[in-house]
Amino acid sequence: MQENADKAEALLKAMASRNRLMILCTLVEGERSVGALAKALGVRESVISQHLGLLRRDGLVQGRRDGQTIHYALAGENAKRLLTTLYQIFCTDDADAPEPDD
């Protein structure tokens, strides 16, 4: 159980950034290049690249080279399942995200 808790902690830490979470939620919809992610999220490409490097290191995204462009996608079934659930709760048009308790 300790090992699984450590894995969950690492996964949640990797997602504990608004930019990284937005990148991951966008990748739920399908693979994207750095430029496409930057345009979709309104964030500079250099910032996207830094976050993708961290997400790649942590095994949450993988890249596929096509010429000079790298297309990023979610990696790993557990990450996909978790992010799909988060996407359904927070990112869809009919999202009914829970309000934080005050």
Condensed to tens digits (0 to 9), the pLDDT of residues 23-43 reads 999 999 899 999 999 999 999
Measured CA to CA, the distance from residue 5 to residue 73 in angstroms comes to: 25
Spatial separation of the C-alpha atoms in residues 22 and 15, rounded to whole Å: 9
> The whole model's pTM is what?
0.81
pLDDT at 15 over 70: yes
Number of domains composing the chain: 1
- Chain segment 39-66, per-residue pLDDT in tens: 999 999 999 999 999 999 988 999 999 9
CATH at 21: 1.10.10.10
**Residue the block writes with tokens 């990450």:** 79
Tell me phi and psi for residue 45, to 5 degrees: -60, -35
Amino acid 39 reads K
Task: Specify the pLDDT at position 99.
Answer: 60
Q: Is residue 66 part of a domain?
A: yes
The answer to whether position 100 is within a domain reads no
**74 domain-assigned:** yes
List the domain range (segments joined by +) for residue 55: 2-90
Please state, rounded to an integer, the average pLDDT across all residues of the chain: 88
Query: Which residues on neighbouring strands pair with residue 32, listed in sequence order?
Result: 72
